Amino acid sequence: MPEPQTNTPWWREAVVYQVYIRSFRDGDGDGNGDIAGLRSRLAYLADLGVDAIWVNPWYPSPMADGGYDVADFRDIAPMFGTLAEAEALIAEAHDVGLRVLLDIVPNHTSDQHPWFRAALAAGPGSRDRDRYIFRPGTGADGAAPPNDWRSVFGGEAWTRVIEPDGSPGEWYLHLFAPEQPDLNWDDPRTRREFEDILRFWFDRGADGFRIDVAHSLIKQEDLPDLGDRFGLLPSIDHPHWDRDEVHDVYKGWRRIADGYDPPRVFVAEAWLDDPERMARYVRSDELHTTFNFVFLIAPWRADAIRTAVARSLAEQNAVGAPVVWVLSNHDVARHVSRFARDQAELAGFSLDDIMDRPADLELGLRRARAAALLMLALPGSVYLYQGEELGLPEVEDLPPEHLTDPTWRRSGNTVRGRDGCRVPLPWSGDAPPFGFSTNDDATPWLPQPAGWHERTVEVLDGDPDSILTLYRAALHLRRELPALGDGELAWLDVGGGVLAFTRAPGFACVVNFGSSAVELPVDGRVLLGSDPRVGEGLLAPHAALWLHTTG
């Protein structure tokens, strides 16, 4: 890896590019993205100016939940390649200056994982069952589930098994799909296994892990009913989210990561709406960073964004951690499409929250360009979701027969779910698969809209006003400007739908959330603007500017 230029640990200010591998690029012509496809585009990512990639799960999996149902944590799904290719990818990424983060899924395994198969075969009361959360049912003949917990994907969080003797038997817990049984983290074997999996990948050069549902894992021992407390964003003292005991797990993981040279890092996925609870995950002896979903779910309004930014900075900085800013990922509707809607109320973050509201995609794209400049100017680290540099919108009209998200099935075909943000990337050409595959006749695993010929890398690359050109310029400037990255900001109190802050030395970011041009509240030379047509001293509507200030 190239030598760091400052003493700041890289992860405090890294821009990490999220690779949803099945949709990034197909290198073997079968319509599914894979490691070969990713290796063929490492130069594109290095040139874009990101510091690292995070690869969504690539392990063997029946794909009941997009690979988050892992059947073997120490191998690669044949659809994506081989372990040897994974090792080559990590080495090649390092050669072009990119670090590699992987995805670890400690809350659950696939129901095809050898542990779960053994648990089913071994029967009630066995040591194998203890690795998961099996309980007898309630009611007559145990025909009702052990408690009222619900799956995040809809329906009950419990499934009843047929015992080896053919009789209806115990129930097992799955906070997600039935194909994703929850592990029992009170069992020391679970803890040992995951520590060993970390070492397996760290030994192969992985620079760190994104931790899936990091706030889950531990369940209250007596599994009490939830009553009215169902929801993704938990309340304090929730029986299965954000239990205090989970922090011991991560203290152990941190010791392992710190034992490597260079030390490995973690980023937590913890959907908490309380920045104070979130900050607990990033105390100095725990995880390094945690995604800041408070920012992601804030509506695109000056007041809401300022509150989200200020609160997040205050809470994370209080424990010495940088904030991780993120606008999109593989679980939420792409932000161009969220921002295309009226932002008076909480925007909603899933397709199903927003799809009934009128959309103005041109406005969504303008706001997305401004949001990119805002986010990349904030103190801390940033995660970009593949395709946001192309301004891709959510694909809202995927034909139902293509929908794979478990929510679709479990909601009785009423909640479309997350496939619309996972459509394979358009790289080049006039028709699908738009260079996504090495095979021009390949059928991408999710259909790409015909209009995406305008959003290919090939087209945007040559356009000085394109969003791709904007991202690239911003990422390169971010590396050059000492004011950006880790550090602090100072708000300018300007009001009127405008947000402005300065960062030392000599930098200001101004964002106009309104629909008419405003006078710039600060003097300076324009470094970069999300709307290239701004007049002298003015900021266009729905636009952001980076300025070099002398003050």
Residues that bind ligand NOJ (CB under 6 A): 65-66, 68, 105, 176, 212-213, 269, 330-331
- Amino acid in the structure at residue 49: G
Mention every residue, 6+ apart, whose C-beta is less than 8 A from residue 19. Answer: 38, 53, 54, 55, 56, 386
In the bound state with ligand NOJ, the residue whose beta carbon lies nearer, of 69 and 286, is: 69
As measured in angstroms, the least distance from the Cβ of 66 to ligand NOJ is: 6
Mention every residue, 6+ apart, whose C-beta is less than 8 A from residue 274. Answer: 236
What order of strands is seen across the sheet that includes strand 381-385?
289-290, 265-268, 208-211, 99-104, 52-55, 15-19, 381-385, 324-326
In the bound state with ligand NOJ, the residue whose beta carbon lies nearer, of 402 and 479, is: 402
How many angstroms separate the CA atoms of 338 and 435, rounded? 27
As measured in angstroms, the least distance from the Cβ of 238 to ligand NOJ is: 17
Please provide the DSSP assignment of 282-333 as one string.
Answer: GSTTS-SEEB-HHHHHS-SSHHHHHHHHHHHHHHHHHTTPPPEEES--TTS-
In the bound state with ligand NOJ, the residue whose beta carbon lies nearer, of 326 and 340, is: 326
Detail the DSSP E strand segments found in 390-440: none
- Judged by phi (left if over 0) then psi (alpha if -120 to 50, else beta), residue 320 lies in left
As measured in angstroms, the least distance from the Cβ of 9 to ligand NOJ is: 25
In the bound state with ligand NOJ, the residue whose beta carbon lies nearer, of 58 and 176, is: 176
In the bound state with ligand NOJ, the residue whose beta carbon lies nearer, of 68 and 471, is: 68
As measured in angstroms, the least distance from the Cβ of 215 to ligand NOJ is: 11
How many angstroms separate the CA atoms of 28 and 336, rounded? 31
In the bound state with ligand NOJ, the residue whose beta carbon lies nearer, of 383 and 546, is: 383
As measured in angstroms, the least distance from the Cβ of 41 to ligand NOJ is: 22
Residue whose C-beta lies closest to ligand NOJ: 68
Interior/surface letters 311-330, b for 16+ CB within 10 angstroms, e for the rest: bbbebbeeeebbbbbbbbbb
How many angstroms separate the CA atoms of 252 and 285, rounded? 9
How many angstroms separate the CA atoms of 10 and 257, rounded? 15
Q: What DSSP state is assigned to residue 363?
A: H
As measured in angstroms, the least distance from the Cβ of 392 to ligand NOJ is: 18
As measured in angstroms, the least distance from the Cβ of 406 to ligand NOJ is: 8
In the bound state with ligand NOJ, the residue whose beta carbon lies nearer, of 330 and 478, is: 330
How many angstroms separate the CA atoms of 175 and 4, rounded? 41
As measured in angstroms, the least distance from the Cβ of 318 to ligand NOJ is: 27
As measured in angstroms, the least distance from the Cβ of 483 to ligand NOJ is: 33
In the bound state with ligand NOJ, the residue whose beta carbon lies nearer, of 13 and 331, is: 331
By three-state DSSP, how is residue 210 classified? strand
CB–CB of 56/19 below 8 Å? Answer: yes
In the bound state with ligand NOJ, the residue whose beta carbon lies nearer, of 194 and 427, is: 194
In the bound state with ligand NOJ, the residue whose beta carbon lies nearer, of 153 and 202, is: 153
Residue found by looking up tokens 């999710």 in the block? 446
As measured in angstroms, the least distance from the Cβ of 159 to ligand NOJ is: 16
In the bound state with ligand NOJ, the residue whose beta carbon lies nearer, of 27 and 60, is: 60
As measured in angstroms, the least distance from the Cβ of 72 to ligand NOJ is: 16
As measured in angstroms, the least distance from the Cβ of 331 to ligand NOJ is: 5
In the bound state with ligand NOJ, the residue whose beta carbon lies nearer, of 69 and 85, is: 69
Residue found by looking up tokens 């640990």 in the block? 9
How many angstroms separate the CA atoms of 501 and 310, rounded? 11
Q: Please name every residue paired with 508 in a beta bridge, in sequence order, or none if there are none.
A: 502, 547
Mention every residue, 6+ apart, whose C-beta is less than 8 A from residue 189. Answer: 131
How many angstroms separate the CA atoms of 476 and 467, rounded? 14
